[in-house]
Amino acid sequence: MNGSAVFLKTLVDSLNKEQFDENVEVVIAPPSVYLDRVRQSVNKHISVAAQNAYNVSSGAFTGEISPEMLKDLGIEWVILGHSERREIFKESDEFVASKVAHALKVGVKVIACIGEKLSEREAGDTFNVVTRQLKALVGNINDWSNVVIAYEPVWAIGTGKVATPQQAQEVHVFIRGLLKDLVSPEVAESTRIIYGGSVNAGNATDLAKEADVDGFLVGGASLKPEFITIINSRI
């Protein structure tokens, strides 16, 4: 929940001036009230995502937006299950999974977030939490070609802390192994697993070197010029 019309114009203008590597997919996720403005002004090779969507098409759900509305605006992606949605708004694994299923059914691609809190990591429950969250998603996804998994350790979001490249790789390898066991080797190989946890220009290059870190879900740094540096770290 950041930005203004003037700020977003500056940010979009800076992105439009850049020539990114054709093998790097860039997706930006402004607040919902700016989605149409951003989609109309940003270069077509940059995709736009909503930060959230509901699990039904329409109805008496004041304040919510549906994947159908996103598609109507030409919005290609939606972020679902972000740790802040789970923690602040108490979205359960099952509710997140139902939203993922509906978005995919409508034809909106999904960045599905999973990850553990500090207390869970300190208790040695990282793999248990990730397994629980991923299992809920697996039961609601038939086509994985439009799904990206974002591993976001909650303890490293907005805290200035960041998982070491080795810690990130360890969990990403585990997630890929889960996909192999729960879905198929083909899905495990093809699904992009991105890292989100205080990614910045200083750590992106080292994180990007890890074999199973396929990209980043960038928070506060996406509001700064260093966002360009982070994007280019994937080259």
Beta strands in 24-121 (DSSP E): 27-28, 47-50, 77-80, 109-114
How far is it, in rounded angstroms, from Cα 23 to Cα 219?
22
Q: What is the CA radius of gyration of the chain?
A: 17
Q: Give pLDDT tens digits for 94-140.
A: 999 999 999 999 999 999 999 999 889 989 999 999 999 999 999 99
Count of beta carbons in the 10 Å neighbourhood of residue 138: 16
Q: Give pLDDT tens digits for 36-85.
A: 999 999 999 999 999 999 999 999 999 999 999 999 999 999 999 999 99
Show the tokens assigned to 210.
């890890």
How far is it, in rounded angstroms, from Cα 211 to Cα 213?
6
pLDDT for the residue numbered 118: 87
**Residues recognised as catalytic:** 152
How far is it, in rounded angstroms, from Cα 86 to Cα 56?
18
Three-point CA angle 169, 176, 230, nearest 5° = 45
Report helix, strand or coil for 72.
helix
Which pairing describes strands 109-114 and 77-80: parallel, antiparallel, or unpaired? parallel
Q: Determine what percent of the chain is predicted with pLDDT higher than 70.
A: 99
Does residue 71 contact residue 107 with C-beta atoms inside 8 Å?
A: yes
Count of beta carbons in the 10 Å neighbourhood of residue 111: 24
Q: Which helix (H) or strand (E) holds 149?
A: strand 147-151
Q: Give pLDDT tens digits for 189-216.
A: 999 999 998 899 999 999 999 999 999 9
Residue whose entry in the numeric block shows the structure tokens 């040695």: 124
Report helix, strand or coil for 53.
coil
Does residue 139 contact residue 103 with C-beta atoms inside 8 Å?
A: no
Read off the pTM: 0.96
Amino acid at 28: I
How far is it, in rounded angstroms, from Cα 218 to Cα 157?
10
Q: Determine what percent of the chain is predicted with pLDDT higher than 90.
A: 92
pLDDT for the residue numbered 174: 98
pLDDT for the residue numbered 235: 60
pLDDT for the residue numbered 147: 98
For residues 12-36, one letter each, b for 16 or more C-beta atoms within 10 angstroms of the residue's C-beta and e for the rest, the string is: beebeeeebeeeebbbbbbebebbe
* CATH number for the domain running over 5-232: 3.20.20.70
Q: Give pLDDT tens digits for 131-168.
A: 999 999 999 999 999 999 999 998 887 777 778 999 99
How far is it, in rounded angstroms, from Cα 185 to Cα 190?
9
Question: 195 - beta bridge partners?
Answer: 151, 216
pLDDT for the residue numbered 107: 98
